[in-house]
Structure 1
Amino acid sequence: MKRTLSVLAIAIAAASAVGAWYLQSKQPQREGEQTLSQLQAPVSVRYDERGVPHIRAQNQADMYRALGYVHAQDRLFQMEMIRRLANGELAEVLGSKLVDTDRLFRTLRLREHARRYVAKVDPNSPPVQALQAYLDGINQYQASHPAPLEFDILGIPKRPFTAEDTMAVAGYMAYSFAAAFRTEPVLTQIRDQLGADYLKVFDLDWHPEGVLSQPLAAADWRDLNSLAQLSHQALSAAGLPQFEGSNAWAVAGSRTASGKPLLAGDPHIRFANPAVWYEAQLEAPDFKLYGHFQALNPTASLGFNEQFAWSITMFQNDDLDLISEKVNPDNPDQVWYQGQWVNLEHSEEIIKVKGEADVKLALRRSPHGPLINDALPTPKGQTPIALWWAFLETENPILDAFYQLNRADTAAKAAAAAEKIEAPGLNVVWANAAGDIAWWAAAKLPQRPAGVNPNFILDGASGEADKPGYYPFNANPQELNPPRGYIVSANHQPTPASGIAIPGYYNLADRASQLDDQLAKPDVRWDLKNSQALQLDNGSGYAKRLLAPLLGDLRAAAGTPDEQALVEELAAWDGDHRLDSRPATLFNQLVYQLAREAMHDELGDAFFDNLLYTRVLDSALPRLAADAQSPWWDQRDSNAREDRPAIIKRAWQASLTHLDTVMGDDRSQWQWGKAHSLTHGHPLGLQPPLDKVFNVGPLPVPGGHETPNNLSHKVGPAPWSVVYGPSTRRLIDLADASRSLGINPVGQSGVLFDAHNRDQAEPYARGEYQPMHNAEADVARHSRSELTLQPTR
């Protein structure tokens, strides 16, 4: 027995040692030396207390090559997954459940577009040279080190990363901005099936001339709704980040405590593990920047140094049109375009599926763009729907744009860089130490025929889908050193000085108003401390605006003294989504229940669920609440005619019943922090029990839907999981950029069991900030280790 136990103990110890060795082999190397071919000189990589690399090279080519190397050792699996998503190759490693996602991205033609884009660029241009050096660093790391743990679990083969992968990923990022796919089918269904009276709450012009000359059949509507659902699911099912909104502001030195401009920014992106941004400081004799980098991109999307800083938000302009094509009754392979029948283009794709047979995909394209019906495995409708998308149709030198923006120390240079961002639309908010603040709404805005409203599906046969040209960049909304002394960008609809109409799916104005109200106070001098408080503001005027016309009906619906007390608590609530707030819980449940009771009977399950994912619902509900005569208040599935009080009573009672069920009948415990939590999901954490290993959370968090601290959830019933929010919070005072602050929502590293894999998750949830070391003295003082990359002898 003793001998058997001894052998067993030795076996367990040996297995543990092998397991520990295996996991250790996957960890990043942050000290010592490594050789890297094609380096011209040694490169120093110092890591600070958060695992952020500070790269010092003797030339920019070495600098970018080193960035690729260290980025890969922290985020190689993220790079692999995001290029597979963009290229439609997830099913090859994740199985048949991802075939629909792959089919969608193949239909979008992202990798086809990437190949054409790369074939046209100048290989000797500085941006392309930087990209190639960066990709070489990634590939050298991948070729010389063990694959990440996730590669082993999924059986992912190693293969080199290419410039085409980088551009395909740029397309994925651009597509994740596009709200039209989820919104236009719903709005067109309401317009054509319910009528103009039902559109009033969406504040959209009624265009009878825009009604399709060949109305869509029921099967076509089912296809469109399936496509809208697929679009959302494809972006969430892969467990990868997607862009949603953002805050940014710049304050002139006349309004700051330091006398120099201050820049703040927090792009709002779907949470994931690893997080979207990789922080790194880059330095060469002729270049220095602390940047936030996306996977497979050598240029920083966000950055600063001692001379200048910038942040970005989503413009939210509508750069994607859905177009109904008219088919030749004598030839289903032709559509009517500009007065004649033209042939559709055809191509075929093969989707490899793990453990199963390949899937063949037949793709078609009209003169307006790819036919998105082909994204469905078994479309039922007969009407082809084309996708016109500015990302596919413009020259869009976005690689050049951000390369220049990384070096834009003057307003003129920043403006020239912003002009090259043609799609997706971005707001660039910029400041420099010389005292300038500026903002450019960067996008190539298409001209559309008079009277055309791109909020709806367009008629491809009538010419309304044609684009006669583009507006010049100087017609875009933009500001330089405005007299008020600050600029704020929060995805609200901008008003261009040129007066041109810019259709879009803009966010509520409440978040921008909340920021503007604070920034406009003449007696406040802005610094890092009060700027933190503004970024972490959990309040919103939306609740008061929505509730005000309903309070009488709610008071009438409250049947007990306890319910009456709850209504009065809502009436007095300031809209602050603090962790201990009970009104926040009740309000968010009531918002969902109000939408459901008023709109579900007209739309049905599928279209109502898609409406919940759109921004137009946010703006519609206050208008609905204020219009007691809206037809939405009547229940179509009832013989009686309901009014607003009756629907409000139903929504109120349903809200209380649901909260009693999921949060308990001790209503004092209906606190926001117990109903509202953040989990950073990993692609392998989508299914239990792996979620316990790979995901981070849940963590209770304050904030809410469209508050400045935009920790936002889908409109739905309690409890609420945060979907997206500040992907970083950055504050840069250009009087002393070495004191800049930031935070990563999870951690710098994407490697499981690494010390920096999730070390910032709890501080982030608590609203804490960390220093972003930029000055040499700070970098030296906070260095924890140093890796030296040596040229191959």
Structure 2
Amino acid sequence: MKRILITLAVVLLAAAAGGAWYLHSKQPTRDGELALQHLGAPVQVRYDERGVPHIEAQNEADLYRALGFVQAQDRLFQMEMLRRLARGELAEVLGAKLLPTDRLFRTLGIRERADQQARELDPDSPHGKALAAYLDGINQYQDSRPAPLEFDLLGIEKRPFSAADTLSIAGYLAYSFAAALRSEPLLTRIRDELGNDYLQIFDTEWHPEGVLESPLGNNDLQLLDRIAALSDQALADSGLPQFEGSNAWAVSGARTASGKPLLAGDPHIRFSAPSVWYEAHLKYPGFELYGHHQPATPVAFLGHNRDFAWSLTMFQNDDMDLIAERSNPENPGQVWYQGSWVDLQQRQEVIQVKDGDPVTLRLRRSPHGPIINDALGDSAGTTPIAMWWTFLETDNPLLDAFYRLNRADTLAKGRAAAERIHAPGLNLVWANAGGDIAWWAAAKLPIRPAGVNPAFILDGSSGAADKRGFYPFSANPQEENPTRGYIVSANFQPLTASGIQIPGYYNPPERGQRLNQRLADQAVRWDLNNSQALQLETATAYGPRLLAPILDDLRAAATDEQQRALVEALAAWRGDHPLDSVQATLFNQLTYELSRVVMAPRLGAPAFEQLLATRMIDSALPRLTANAQSPWWTPADGQPRSRAEAVAEAWQASLQHLRATLGEDPGQWQWGRAHTLTHPHPLGVQWPLDALLNVGPLPAPGGHEMPNNLSHRIGAAPWPVGYGPSTRRLVDLADAGTSLGINPLGQSGVPFDRHYRDQAEPFIQGEYLPQHLSPEDVTAHTRSTLTLQPAR
């Protein structure tokens, strides 16, 4: 027995040692020397206490080649998953269960468009040269270093990254925001099945122009429901970034303590592990930038230096239309377009399937765009539904735009860069040390026929879906150096001096109003400290606005002293969501129950779930509670019911659920117990990888539509946070070396690396960390140095 135990111990120790060696071999190399092909001179990479690389090269090509190498060290698996998702290649490594996702993304046409853009990319352009050097750095890393842990688990074979991969990822990011697949089928269904009165809470005017002469059939609506659900599921299950909203503001030097402009930004993106942004400080003679980079993309999407800084929010303009085509009864391969039958374009693509046979797709395209029925196979629906999308219909020189923006130290340069952003629509908030502040709504805005409302599915045979070109960039909403001394961007519907209408899926105004109210205070001189407090605010007027019309109904619904005390607590509540708030928990449960009681019976379960996944529900609920005569209060069976009766039902259901979930004592219904953040890794859906790769749950303050927008979907408690600040940045251009930021998780995407999750706790607790820029600070905070030498 003793010999057996000794042998077992030796085996276990050997296994542990082997496992430790294996995991150690996967870790990034952050010190010493490594040889890199095609370098003109040595490149020094100094890593600070957060694992951020400070890269100093002697020329631009060496800089971007080094960036590709070090970013691949930290984020290669993230790059791989993003390109596979965007290009419809996940089934090749994850099996047949990912075939629906691959079908969807092949149908969207991102792969085809990216391949075309790659062929048209000028290799001698500055951004083309930067991309080539960067991709070479990624591929040299793949060729010379061990594969990531996840590659081994999934059996992924390394293959070179290409320009088409980078451009495909840009297409995915554009699609991740597009709301048409979720919203337009639902609004069309409500209009056709329930009537115009039911649309009023969505504030969507019903224009007759473009309306289908014959409503879509049930099988067509079911098709659209399935595609909407597939799109939501694909985005949610990918564990990859998805743009959702954002805050950004710039304050002129007249309103700051330093006398120079101050920029703040926190783009709201779906949380994931690793987190979306890769920070890198880049420097070569004549150029310096502290930037936040997307996977497999050489240019920074956010950045600053001593001369200028910028941040982004989503414009949220509607750049995608769904179009019902009229098929030729004699030839289903034709549709009616501008007075005649025209052939659908057709092509085939093959999806490779792990442990299965390849699958061949037939993909069709009308003059309006891809036929999205093909995402579900040949028999999906009887009406071909085309998708018109700005991303597919414009040049969209996104790399060129951000290459220029990385160097835009003047208003003219910033404006010129913004003009090259076509899709997705972005609000670019910018400031420079010379004293200028600006905002440009950057997008190609289509000219639709007069009166056509793109919130609904359009009739492809009538001309309603045909675009008449695009408005010039000068017509876009924008401001430069406004006299009020500040600019706010928070996803609300913008005004434009040109007077053009800009349909979109905008957020409720309360978050923007809160920021505007604070920034308008002439008594405040803004600095890094009070700007932190503003970014971390956890209240808006949204909750009180929704509750105010139904407070008397809630008082009538309370059946005992405890319930009456809870109602009065809600009546006195200011919409704040700190960790200890009981009112926040009660409000959010009541919001869901009110939606369920009133809307679910009319819509049916699938459509109701789709509504909860859209921004429309946020704007609709305050309008619903404010209108006691809304037809939504009437049950589906037509029996009389008042708003007060529906509110009473929702109130009691809320209390019942919270008692069952959080305990009988309302004092235990604190927000932090019910509202938590977990950073999900793409492989963290299975045990035991969830415990190893996911990070959380962490009690989360804040909530939906407030400055600290740690947002959750409307639903029943508990509430997992879905998206929120993907970074918080503050840059005072009086001394950009003092800028502050935070990563929601960590700089590294390598499991078990010390920088995989080292910022998760500081982030959720509202801490800020320095972004080192000056040579003195970089030297003082260097923890290791990697020198990349030209290979001999």
* Normalised TM-score (structure 1): 0.99
CA separation in 2, counterparts of 1:289 and 1:460? 47
Q: Does 1:675 align with 2:682?
A: no
The aligned counterpart of 1:55 is 55
The aligned counterpart of 1:335 is 335
Matched to 1:84, the amino acid is R
Measured against aligned partners, the alpha-carbon deviations of 1:342-370 in whole angstroms (never above 9, x if no partner) come to 00011112112211222221111000000
Residue 291 of structure 2 aligns to a residue in which SS? Answer: strand
Matched to 1:30, the amino acid is R
Deviation at 1:214, TM superposition (A): 2.8
CA separation in 2, counterparts of 1:208 and 1:294? 42
Cα 1:689–1:8 change in 2 (3 A) is closer
The aligned counterpart of 1:614 is 614
Matching of residues 242-281 of structure 1 within 5 Å: 242-281=242-281
Matching of residues 574-723 of structure 1 within 5 Å: 574-637=574-637, 640-723=639-722
The aligned counterpart of 2:775 is 776
CA separation in 1, counterparts of 2:428 and 2:89? 32
Measured against aligned partners, the alpha-carbon deviations of 1:712-769 in whole angstroms (never above 9, x if no partner) come to 0011000000000000000000000000000000000000110000000011010101
CA contact (8 A) 1:223 1:379 kept: no
Deviation at 1:290, TM superposition (A): 0.2
Q: Does 1:80 align with 2:86?
A: no
Matching of residues 34-45 of structure 1 within 5 Å: 34-45=34-45
The aligned counterpart of 1:526 is 526
CA contact (8 A) 1:322 1:386 kept: yes
Cα 1:380–1:298 change in 2 (3 A) is closer
Q: Does 1:405 align with 2:405?
A: yes
Matched to 2:643, the amino acid is R
Cα 1:509–1:379 change in 2 (3 A) is farther
CA separation in 2, counterparts of 1:689 and 1:402? 40
The aligned counterpart of 2:164 is 164
Measured against aligned partners, the alpha-carbon deviations of 1:67-122 in whole angstroms (never above 9, x if no partner) come to 00000000000000000000101111111221111110000111110111111121
Q: Does 1:460 align with 2:457?
A: no
Residue 721 of structure 2 aligns to a residue in which SS? Answer: strand
Deviation at 1:208, TM superposition (A): 2.7
CA separation in 2, counterparts of 1:378 and 1:472? 40
The aligned counterpart of 1:13 is 13
The aligned counterpart of 1:372 is 372
The aligned counterpart of 1:111 is 111
CA separation in 1, counterparts of 2:13 and 2:564? 65
The aligned counterpart of 1:445 is 445
Measured against aligned partners, the alpha-carbon deviations of 1:585-625 in whole angstroms (never above 9, x if no partner) come to 00000111111111111100011100001111111111111
Residue 522 of structure 1 aligns to a residue in which SS? Answer: coil
Measured against aligned partners, the alpha-carbon deviations of 1:44-69 in whole angstroms (never above 9, x if no partner) come to 00000000000000001000000000
CA contact (8 A) 1:192 1:211 kept: no
Measured against aligned partners, the alpha-carbon deviations of 1:116-144 in whole angstroms (never above 9, x if no partner) come to 11111211001010001000000000110
The aligned counterpart of 1:552 is 552
Deviation at 1:228, TM superposition (A): 0.8
Q: Does 1:724 align with 2:723?
A: yes
Measured against aligned partners, the alpha-carbon deviations of 1:6-33 in whole angstroms (never above 9, x if no partner) come to 3332222222211111111000000000
Residue 248 of structure 1 aligns to a residue in which SS? Answer: strand
CA contact (8 A) 1:250 1:430 kept: yes
Cα 1:547–1:137 change in 2 (3 A) is same
CA separation in 2, counterparts of 1:285 and 1:49? 25
CA separation in 1, counterparts of 2:348 and 2:700? 47
Cα RMSD after superposing both structures? 0.8
Matched to 2:365, the amino acid is R
CA contact (8 A) 2:261 2:733 kept: yes
CA separation in 2, counterparts of 1:785 and 1:596? 55
Q: Percent identity?
A: 67
Deviation at 1:37, TM superposition (A): 0.2
Residue 737 of structure 2 aligns to a residue in which SS? Answer: helix
Matching of residues 134-213 of structure 1 within 5 Å: 134-213=134-213
Deviation at 1:378, TM superposition (A): 6.5
The aligned counterpart of 1:477 is 477
The aligned counterpart of 1:96 is 96
Name which of structure 1's ranges 140-149 and 681-690 shifts more when overlaid on structure 2.
Answer: 681-690
Residue 738 of structure 1 aligns to a residue in which SS? Answer: helix
CA separation in 2, counterparts of 1:218 and 1:549? 37
CA contact (8 A) 2:209 2:464 kept: no
The aligned counterpart of 1:27 is 27
CA separation in 1, counterparts of 2:604 and 2:378? 22
Deviation at 1:3, TM superposition (A): 3.3
Residue 348 of structure 2 aligns to a residue in which SS? Answer: strand
The aligned counterpart of 1:291 is 291
CA separation in 2, counterparts of 1:206 and 1:118? 41
CA contact (8 A) 2:34 2:789 kept: yes
CA separation in 1, counterparts of 2:516 and 2:193? 39
Residue 388 of structure 1 aligns to a residue in which SS? Answer: strand
CA separation in 2, counterparts of 1:12 and 1:121? 55
CA separation in 1, counterparts of 2:460 and 2:213? 10
Matched to 1:158, the amino acid is K
CA separation in 1, counterparts of 2:473 and 2:481? 18
Name which of structure 1's ranges 7-16 and 444-453 shifts more when overlaid on structure 2.
Answer: 7-16
* Structure 2 residues not aligned, in runs of 5+: none
Matched to 2:99, the amino acid is V
Cα 1:689–1:20 change in 2 (3 A) is closer
Measured against aligned partners, the alpha-carbon deviations of 1:492-538 in whole angstroms (never above 9, x if no partner) come to 00000101000000011100001000000000000000000000000
CA separation in 2, counterparts of 1:217 and 1:172? 30
Measured against aligned partners, the alpha-carbon deviations of 1:199-255 in whole angstroms (never above 9, x if no partner) come to 111111112333212321011111111111111111111111100000000000000
Matched to 1:398, the amino acid is L
Residue 413 of structure 2 aligns to a residue in which SS? Answer: helix
The aligned counterpart of 2:486 is 486
CA contact (8 A) 1:184 1:457 kept: yes
The aligned counterpart of 1:324 is 324
CA separation in 1, counterparts of 2:680 and 2:62? 34
CA contact (8 A) 1:405 1:417 kept: yes
Residue 210 of structure 1 aligns to a residue in which SS? Answer: coil
CA separation in 1, counterparts of 2:471 and 2:771? 39
CA contact (8 A) 1:88 1:104 kept: yes
Measured against aligned partners, the alpha-carbon deviations of 1:176-209 in whole angstroms (never above 9, x if no partner) come to 0101111001101011111110011111111233
* Structure 1 residues not aligned, in runs of 5+: none
CA separation in 2, counterparts of 1:205 and 1:379? 34
Measured against aligned partners, the alpha-carbon deviations of 1:432-466 in whole angstroms (never above 9, x if no partner) come to 00000000000010101011000000000000000
Matched to 1:121, the amino acid is L
Matched to 1:540, the amino acid is T
CA separation in 2, counterparts of 1:170 and 1:568? 49
Residue 244 of structure 1 aligns to a residue in which SS? Answer: coil
Name which of structure 1's ranges 190-199 and 6-15 shifts more when overlaid on structure 2.
Answer: 6-15
CA separation in 2, counterparts of 1:665 and 1:685? 33
